[in-house]
Amino acid sequence: MTPEAQFEILQRGTEDILPHGELLERLKLAEREKRPLRVKQGFDPTAPDIHLGHSVGLRKLRQFQQLGHQVVLILGDYTGMVGDPSGLSKTRPQLTPEQVEKNATTYLDQFHRVLERDPKPPMRPVEIRRNGEWFAGMRFMDVMKLASHYTVARMLERDDFSKRFEARQPISIHELFYPLMQGYDSVAIRADIELGATEQKFNLIVGRAFQELHGQLPQVVMTLPVLPGLDGVQRMSKSLGNYIGVTDAPGEMFGKVMSLPDHVMTDYWRLVADASAEELAAVERALADSNANPMEIKKRLGERIVTLYHGTEAAKRARADFDTQFSRREVPEDVEEYGWPAVEQALGHSASATIVEHLVGSGIAGSKSIARRLIEQGAVTIDGAKISDFALAPARGKAFVLRAGRKLKRFKP
């Protein structure tokens, strides 16, 4: 495939490609030199699982892999212990080496739910590197030399650091090392291209500067959009409870997709569903058509995403189960029950409880804030009737079925 054709594929769905025009030039260089480009993305194992938000970058890496380039995944066992401050308003808790290693074990398997584990030519196996390979052996003098290449003033150009500095919020010295460490990763593996989310742009540009200092051709920077979570507002995050895990069961994955607000469907088709340009255009036309049914488009999206991670048959079963249990308002006979003691525990006393306490007490929502978000999204029903009032207090002596998206529980007085 020509460099121009590759560029057309790779530039889709990106936010920025810096410097402008450099990606096409690098693809032409690879063709002249008859070598694959080394395409890097780093992942810090700060939690045991990855979700669809992580898959935005992984799916772009898969495109590079399919085009015959060398994907290099950096498993940040050392940067993970520092904690990426990008986009944060406070210091991230530091993890122990044991926590990082435990999380890394599951990451390695989950990466290959998107990337090919045993590809056939021209695709190449993924190169997985831990940045402890180069950081563990550094002497303190090496660390000082690394730090000497960047000034505090340059660091405070970062939006998150500058906001915290102006607000007189603490910035730990070790946080300033994170961009330097991520930048040096690019030197260590001689990256041609680095991918990252939009808030990672500063770190990626540090990598270019360090490569120039070490006599390397500076990497091309590609930033990707941030995927909104199930609430349709905040970025997908396990800590916020608004995520779809790549290891979620097919039914759970499909149900979570069905709980998405309509306005984020285009983002999901574009970023995590492998939609072609033609298919995405068709989806956008359908969503703009007042006569079209958004629910049908969302079901197709759910089936597509489940297919990517569990296969076609599992996706068909998940959709059929959803239609049975939700579209037709049928309730399985073996639906799990909960009682007043669970609600009372969520409430803290024995007075009348609102729908918020029922969502928490039943286990459908992990916190009251998540429960309120589900109600705001219109995802909560009692016996099929949509609930929009936080203060609604269900009758204590009446049984009912409580639903939120895919999850349902029966209240037993």
Q: Each residue of 242-291: pLDDT tens digit?
A: 899 999 999 989 989 988 888 899 999 999 999 988 999 999 999 888 77
CA dihedral sign, ordered 62, 133, 77, 23: negative
- pLDDT tens digit string along 90-138? 556 677 888 888 888 888 889 999 999 999 999 999 999 999 999 999 9
Q: What pLDDT, on a 0 to 100 scale, did the predictor assign at position 330?
A: 61
| pLDDT, position 87 | 58
Which domain does 343 fall in, by range? 337-411
135 plus 264 within the same structural domain: no
Name residues of the chain where pLDDT drops below 70: 85-93, 239, 326-334, 348-352
For the entire predicted model, the pTM comes to: 0.76
pLDDT of residue 379: 84
Question: What does the pLDDT read at residue 385?
Answer: 74
User: Domain check: are 77 and 201 in the same one?
Assistant: yes
Does 99 share its domain with 41? yes
205 inside domain: yes
Apex 227 CA angle, 71 and 68, nearest 5: 20
Q: Which residues pair with 194 in a beta bridge?
A: 40, 221
Residue 58 lies in a domain: yes
**What strand order describes the sheet that includes 337-338?**
337-338, 407-411, 400-404, 380-382, 385-386
Same domain, 344 and 314: no
